[in-house]
Structure 1
Amino acid sequence: MTKGPFRYDQVGSLLRTNTLKEAKKNLENESISFEDYKKIEREEIKKIVEKQKEIGLKAITDGEFNREYWHYDFIAHLNGIKTYVLDMQGKFQGTMNKLKSYYVKDTISFPKDHPFLDDFKYLKELCGDDAVAKITIPGPNMIYYSGVVNSDLFKKDTNYTSIEKLKEDIAKVYQDAIQAYYDAGCRYLQFDDTAWGALFSEGQRKALEEKGIDTKNLVKDFAEITVNSLKNRPDDMTITTHCCRGNFKSSWLYEGDYSFVEDYIFKAPFDGFFLEYDTDRAGSFEPIKKLKEGKLVLGLITSKEGTLEDKEVIKERIKEASKYIPLERLCLSPQCGFSSTEDGNNITEEDQFKKLQLVKEIATEVWKDA
């Protein structure tokens, strides 16, 4: 396979190195300049790219080393976004206290000079012809859910008077972002969109309904925005999506299966769907039978802890999934990244790479074209 998603793939984020963490502390206490910090950051990205090449990964990421959060940094640089700090007491099993967040204040658009574009060009340069440079960005529903419908600040402080116009503008942001990345040489782009996870469990949906949010309409909006975001996409560009149940310091936010969203999430014409399936919280494989096109990347290897999975157990899980989707449309990856925020999961760098190696070993034993 020369086009993603690959039989053995990865979601995106990697543990920040000790050198990068130390540099961040020095930046915060102003003992080094931002320019010096960026030089160190790029050197660490170079090292992490080489490590991925050593493992033999076909899809190479920059580990999201240029971000504090997997989603916030990209969205914060969009035109029309207002940022603030959100109280998260009691969330993620009590491991998170505060979270940088955002809402849509003014007309939203994608800036031509978004800093992530230069970061991608650097990654592509490092990958050369040896591997495919894969970039991840938060999906459009991360803006619509967190920055609009579930935002009290949006209700109080926005210049938008039409939700329909806002939905159109969010889709246009992603149409423009896709084209900008394509023009920069990107051929493998992924939308990370955990907004769907907020609808997985009946309890979560009930809590949203109590806030006046119609969840049946919300899931339709998610699908509409996603489909419209992919309009006019280049034919030779792989675009996938990833959906999990939250990932912060090895803790989680959501639970529940895919049944409530199965008739909507799979409508989007993605080339691949990275779905979390490493615990019972994800439910059964049955909903995936609704996926008629595209590949399903099974997130069966957990990124939340270092114990290596039993190969035979994972192979049996793949076999079970193949009852709903043919084996030739299945792939394998960790269930999420290893460091959705700069804090990282409770796992060592050594075990992180062992996990990625395990994904490759299992895939090459299951699929002849791996």
Structure 2
Amino acid sequence: MSQSATQRTRPPFRADHVGSLLRPPALLDARRRHAAGEVDDAELRGLEDEAVEQVVALQRDAGLQTVTDGEMRRASWHMDFLYQLRGVSSTDEKIAVHFRNADGDLDFESAAVKVGERIGLDHTIFGDDFTFLAETAGRLAPGLTPKLTMPSPNMLHARGGRAALDPEVYPDEEPFWADLAAAYADQLRRVADLGCTYAQLDDTSLAYLNDPAQRRAMTERGDDAEHQHERYVRTLNAAIADRPESLAVTTHLCRGNFRSSWAAEGGYDFVAEVLFSELAVDGFFLEFDDERSGGFEPLRFVPPGRQVVLGLVTTKTGALEDPDVLKRRIDEAAQHVPLEQLCLSPQCGFSSTSEGNDLTWDEERAKLDLIVQVAEDVWG
């Protein structure tokens, strides 16, 4: 096997992970007390700092090449970011999301979004958070690459569609897409100026579009579900087109991840050709942990030079996968895209919202250990 196949110095790495990690119980308790007015902002920030230090050490000890802050400061993987874009606000309306899991159904509600003025960027979102992560990694995990995770720009549209746009601000959608891409391009330049060399844009919307039920729901609200993925890919490409050469950008696609439940099903077939052949990211983090995700055949559209991070290890349960089964599945994927373009990770984060998935800290660590060990066995 060639050297390029056995090691990677540019993200994504052979053993990688999506980003979010289980919040320590002390932090969850502090959040509850903060909401009740018993803990002030400064004290909460200090406890978040401690939690970030804890998860940086966890990732270092697992043998990973990259570290995130585990999204310790967020309640939600995406809304905490989107509400900081100029022009975006929450409303009194609620968005209902229907999730499923092995035991039944789980319904979730969150505030709807409203775009009431032109989209823009007034400050570097998560800038202070990334700076603290980078400093902590330099102190506790020297040599590891800090990764900043953010929602894809498409998630703003996915949360509300055309109906979320004030018609007096955006009577036509094209200026909305242009402003949104420009705001993200500005954000990526800003974080690169802070020293970020690895950014990830998380995007459930492109995975949801593989599910006929999700496409029907999008059509019913007035959007063009049959071609929406094409618009999403163009917007992402516009957002990342002028990123600094030093900044690697990946995207993560999954079908929902809330308290060990999911919202959508289906393989990547519907979006695969446009997504894999046209989206100019450095790597795709893809959910492949069970039959809901379909087979590896859509990977045939992945061109040379782009990495596929196979999400074969589930974060939805604590049961540890058989390493030999993981290796066989990597071999199966390699029938459709060369082995040197493959990496390994969990299928999603461990805690996309602060509640977290149904597994323990020790089970989370065991899964990270397993990913590192299997990657060493496969790629050296």
Sort the TM-score into its range (normalised by shorter chain). Answer: over 0.9
- Alpha-carbon distance, 1:4 to partner: 1.0
Alpha-carbon offset, residue 218 of structure 1: 1.2
TM-score, length of structure 2 as denominator length = 0.92
Amino acid at match of 2:352: S
Q: Distance in 2 between matches of 1:88 and 1:163?
A: 21
Q: Distance in 1 between matches of 2:251 and 2:122?
A: 22
Kindly tell me: are residues 200 and 212 of structure 1, through their superposed partners in 2, closer, same or farther at Cα, counting changes over 3 Å?
Answer: same
Q: What letter is aligned with 2:325?
A: V
Of 222, 228, 231, which residue of structure 2 is paired with 1:221?
A: 231
Q: Deviations over 1:325-351 (max 9, x none)?
A: 110000000000000000000111110
Out of 105, 120, 134, the residue aligned to residue 147 of structure 2 is 134
Residues 272-306 of structure 1 show CA distances to partners (whole Å, capped at 9, x for unaligned) of: 10000001111110111101031000000000000
Name the SS for the 2:59 alignment partner: helix
- Within the alignment, does 1:338 sit opposite 2:345 as a pair? no
Contact 2:161 2:223 in 1 (8 A): no
- Cα pair 1:103 1:148 within 8 Å, conserved: no
Classify 1:86/1:7 alpha carbon distance in 2 versus 1 (closer, same or farther; 3 Å).
Answer: farther
Shift of residue 42, structure 1, vs aligned partner: 0.5
Q: How many residues align?
A: 364
Partner residue, 1:75: 82
Say if 2:23 is the partner of 1:11: no
Q: Which residue of 1 aligns with 2:47?
A: 40
1:336–1:85 CA distance, 2 compared to 1 (3 A) = farther
Q: 1:262 aligns with which of 267, 272, 290?
A: 272
Shift of 1:77: 0.7
Question: CA offsets per residue over residues 202-258 of structure 1, 9 Å max, x none?
Answer: 232233223332222312111110111111111121110000000000000011111
Matched residue, 1:239? 249
Shift of the alpha carbon at 1:110? 1.6
SS at match of 1:260: helix
Aligned residue in 2 for 1:99: 110
Once residues 359 and 260 of structure 2 are traced to their aligned partners in structure 1, the CA distance between those partners, rounded to angstroms, is 8
Map 1:195-344 to 2 at 5 A.
Answer: 195-266=205-276, 267-292=278-303, 293-344=305-356
Per the alignment, in what secondary structure is the counterpart of residue 340 of structure 2? helix
Q: Provide closer, same or farther for how the CA distance between residues 2 and 84 of structure 1 changes in structure 2, counting only shifts above 3 A.
A: same
**Residues 1:357 and 1:72: Cα distance change in structure 2 (over 3 Å):** same
- Name the CA distance, whole Å, in 1 between partners of 2:95 and 2:355: 16
Measured in 2, the distance between the counterparts of 1:168 and 1:185 equals: 26
Distance in 2 of aligned mates of 1:95 and 1:34: 32
Corresponding letter in the other structure for 2:123: K
Q: Distance in 1 between matches of 2:64 and 2:292?
A: 28
Contact 1:72 1:100 (8 Å CA) reproduced: no
Structure 2: state its 5+ residue gaps. 1-7
CA–CA separation in structure 2 for the residues paired with 1:321 and 1:55? 25
> 1:332 is paired with a residue of what secondary structure?
strand
Give 2:26's aligned amino acid.
T
Which of 108, 123, 137 aligns to 1:112? It is 123
Find the aligned partners of 1:230 and 1:164 in 2 and give their Cα distance: 18
Distance 1:142 1:201 in 2: 17
In structure 1, runs of 5+ residues without a counterpart are none
Contact 1:104 1:158 in 2 (8 A): no
- Give SS of 1:331's match: strand
Change (3 A) 1:86 1:243: farther
Structure 1 segments, 4+ long, off by >3 Å, are: 85-90
Per-residue CA shift, 1:68-113, capped at 9, x if unaligned? 0000001111100021355455611342332134232210012225
Q: Residue 9 of structure 2 corresponds to which residue in structure 1?
A: 2
What is the letter of the counterpart of residue 74 of structure 1? F
Q: Which moved more, 1:210-219 or 1:88-97?
A: 88-97
CA distance in 1, matches of 2:123, 2:108: 34
1:103/1:143 contact within 8 Å kept = no
| Aligned: 1:361 with 2:373 | yes
Supply the RMSD in Å over aligned alpha carbons. Answer: 1.5
The answer to whether the 8 Å contact 1:104/1:148 transfers is no
**Is the CA contact 1:190–1:241 (under 8 Å) kept in the aligned structure 2?**
yes
